[in-house]
């Protein structure tokens, strides 16, 4: 809790120091691409490799900035990144739908969200940082993790681009930047940058406290070395509940994405309950028969206080907490039953679509 407070205080202080970098938020909704049956595009590409870690200022390794000098050092470093990151961040338009993306190779491969790119083989338009519009084609998508890949058409091999980070370089508490074109690309408006920190990182989900607004989907999340660590996916009800596609989703499935596959194995872990908010947590109103919660002894009327030591307040939050876990993992539930605290161990199942 203390770390969260320091993080929020640091972000407020940083916003005062460099308002030119942390631009005003533009609240607008953007359409998302329509879902159709998959086609297969032509050939896969080699997966881009990440550069070694950059030499970062010491302030980024502290729990929080310790004074004005630290804040100014952060400002200088972020300003040094913004120009190159802006050049690699693009707007994406597919029919009437708009979103964002980021170029990650010199031959024009673009990471975005699967719900932005839609099915493979669709014609798309990419809007570069200077307003130039170029044609592109959607490639593969991981519909489980919301990872989508596109490529700019043609043989040009000098596109401005950024590197993809390695998953094992991302730690909880790391500073990060996210950007995109909220509401769709607007002429004369640069991508909107916001700063925050990593709350949770795994191979299945990246959670940050960077502000997201409608239309940011598909935009990149960068580490302080200027490498892509994730792609904007879902906006939570609270600042700390914003979710991104982790870079591992692209690295681990690069060949399938580049080969224009549309795939989904399963949708993650399953608990097997539903319910409603309660002043003390989350009230269980239904326990599904033969599912993990039922087999572990969870009952209708139980108040779920914590899942895996994290407080639960609503169904959306519970879904996210369950979704972070791999199927088969054993987790602890803290429940209130008839006024008494009860702890139950549940072995999560697989949620099939």
Is the pLDDT at 259 greater than 90, yes or no?
yes
What pLDDT is attached to residue 16?
A: 31
CB burial of residue 195 (10 Å; 0-12, 13-18, 19+): buried
Mean pLDDT of the chain: 84
**Residue 273: both structure tokens together:** 């309950």
> Do 176 and 229 contact (CB within 8 A), yes or no?
yes
Give 21's pLDDT tier (boundaries 50, 70, 90): very low
Q: Using one digit for the tens of pLDDT, what is the confidence trace for 155-193?
A: 999 999 999 999 888 999 999 999 999 888 888 899 999
What pLDDT is attached to residue 37?
A: 34
CB burial of residue 276 (10 Å; 0-12, 13-18, 19+): exposed
The dihedral region occupied by 281, where left means phi > 0, alpha psi between -120 and 50, and beta the remainder, is left
Distance CA 322, CA 333 (A): 11
What pLDDT is attached to residue 237?
A: 66
What pLDDT is attached to residue 34?
A: 32
Distance CA 169, CA 42 (A): 32
Q: In the chain, count H helices and then E strands.
A: 7, 21
Give 88's pLDDT tier (boundaries 50, 70, 90): very high
The DSSP secondary-structure symbol of 158 reads -
**Region 16-20: what's the mean pLDDT?**
34
State which of 48-57, 93-102, 183-192 shows the largest mean pLDDT: 93-102
Is the pLDDT at 47 greater than 90, yes or no?
no
**Residue 312: both structure tokens together:** 């639960």
What pLDDT is attached to residue 36?
A: 37
What pLDDT is attached to residue 5?
A: 35
**Residue 247: both structure tokens together:** 């870079």
The CA distances from residue 102 to 2, 5, 30, 163, 348, in Å, are: 34, 31, 17, 10, 35
Q: Please state which of the four CATH numbers 3.30.70.1350, 3.30.479.30, 2.30.42.10, 3.40.50.1970 is assigned to the domain occupying 269-350.
A: 2.30.42.10
Is the pLDDT at 45 greater than 70, yes or no?
no
Q: Using one digit for the tens of pLDDT, what is the confidence trace for 331-350?
A: 999 999 999 999 999 999 87
Domain boundaries of the chain, sorted by first residue = 2-33+57-257, 269-350
Specify the CATH number of the domain 2-33+57-257.
2.40.10.120
Listed range (46-50, 257-261, 272-276, 320-324) with the worst mean pLDDT? 46-50
């Amino acid at each position: 809790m203390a770390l969260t407070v320091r993080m929020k205080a640091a972000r407020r202080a940083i916003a005062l120091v460099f308002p030119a970098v942390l631009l005003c938020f533009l609240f607008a909704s953007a359409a998302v691409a329509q879902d159709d049956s998959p086609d297969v595009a032509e050939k896969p590409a080699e997966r881009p490799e990440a550069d070694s870690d950059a030499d970062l200022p010491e302030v980024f390794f502290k729990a929080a900035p310790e004074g004005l000098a630290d804040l100014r050092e952060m400002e200088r470093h972020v300003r040094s990144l913004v120009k190159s990151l802006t050049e690699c961040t693009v707007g994406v338009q597919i029919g009437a739908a708009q979103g964002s993306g980021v170029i990650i190779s010199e031959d024009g491969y673009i990471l975005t969200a699967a719900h932005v790119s839609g099915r493979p083989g669709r014609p798309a338009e990419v809007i570069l940082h200077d307003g130039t519009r170029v044609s592109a084609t959607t490639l593969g998508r991981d519909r489980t993790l919301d990872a989508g890949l596109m490529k700019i058409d043609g043989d040009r091999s000098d596109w401005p681009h950024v590197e993809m980070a390695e998953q094992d370089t991302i730690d909880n508490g790391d500073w990060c930047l996210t950007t995109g074109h909220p509401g769709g690309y607007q002429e004369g408006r640069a991508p909107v940058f916001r700063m925050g920190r990593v709350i949770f990182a795994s191979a299945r989900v990246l959670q940050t406290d960077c502000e997201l607004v409608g239309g940011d989907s598909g935009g990149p999340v960068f580490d302080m070395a200027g490498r892509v660590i994730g792609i904007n996916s879902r906006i939570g009800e609270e600042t700390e509940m914003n979710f991104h596609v982790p870079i591992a989703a692209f690295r681990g499935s690069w060949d399938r994405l580049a080969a224009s596959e549309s795939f989904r194995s399963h949708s993650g872990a399953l608990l097997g309950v539903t319910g409603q908010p309660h002043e003390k947590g989350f009230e269980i109103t239904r326990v599904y028969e033969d599912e993990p919660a039922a087999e572990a002894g969870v009952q209708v009327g139980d108040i779920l206080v914590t899942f895996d030591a994290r407080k639960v307040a609503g169904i959306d939050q519970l879904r996210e907490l369950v979704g972070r876990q791999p199927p088969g993992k054993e987790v602890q539930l803290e429940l209130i039953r008839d006024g008494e605290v009860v702890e139950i161990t549940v072995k999560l199942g697989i949620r099939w679509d």
